[in-house]
Structure 1
């Protein structure tokens, strides 16, 4: 069993006039051979983009790219003719497959804050595709957002091309609890608020935990509530 806490301030940082980004794993010019991913996750970026700016058209290949917006709105356009506005409560997935080009832009009047996660697919050279779907988090439970796990086949908002990975989100009121899934690899990210992780202690906004072989510890929200993003992955 292993529990590794990664504090927000210890993550790789990319900063410019229009972008503030913190990377959980090696990304771009930031390289650590001991930190290139976890399970099937190869990128987990916490991004804030200024109004009227964003990422111009650029390519991807053989990645399942999941975007979850926390504040503001992000405009997506890609070379397959897909477009959409991603806002809080809407899950987005782009399967890069054999190759796709896309842009991500903040057309709004306020900064957009979002988390973008890249997962290795279980098949290469798939046809590129796009999906987005509204999500209801009112239950206070872990809600499957983007998953290829067989157990989530009927419940996930959007599907990814990786049968061994799935991401769920819980929006917790003050003092509310949720049990993490029991899986070979679990990645917990505190998107907003504070929580107490059973056996590990207090976590703040943008802190992350990598759990290996741990049997479903409990997460309890702090006095102002919390939102947590949880990836569960098998071997």
Structure 2
């Protein structure tokens, strides 16, 4: 656990320090450099946290229909959320702590954090100027809510980077004999939401899944 503490106790955007930490860890099947790059690339994608009132007056959701992605049941986004939930259910304390640290919401010494019973959300701006909402809760887990004006291509790319980031944390925790998190079963919320949403969509178009009410 010493490495994890050093990594998560570093500077807010610890590009140089994280890179040096990876140089000191023996490689196994996957290079630690690639793990470090996955984490750093995701760090770099977040520019700064923003106030809630700075959000554009548009809808935000885990999935929102657009011309290229009109049906939830056929969306490539669904599979990405399946993967995200399968990983975060065991490593949510590490992932949530690291993201909240990037957003300057927790102190630099915190390397694991519990999920709140009540829903909490934090808005941020990406380096490409996109607005995204990050939310956490024991019921629904770790989620991102994208603006209706954000393209499908950007949503997909962001989620792919996040999946690589989550896999990197999973690998690091395992390699350093870190503890897996208690299964809060928030993936059951996603499976239920998936089932209900697909059922509704058989009868009428969906206007969104996992939408944020501003």
Higher strand proportion (structure 1 or 2): 1
- TM value normalised by structure 2: 0.24
Higher relative contact order (CA 8 A, sep 6+): 2
Q: What TM-score does the superposition give when structure 1 sets the normalisation length? A: 0.23
Greater per-residue helix proportion:
2
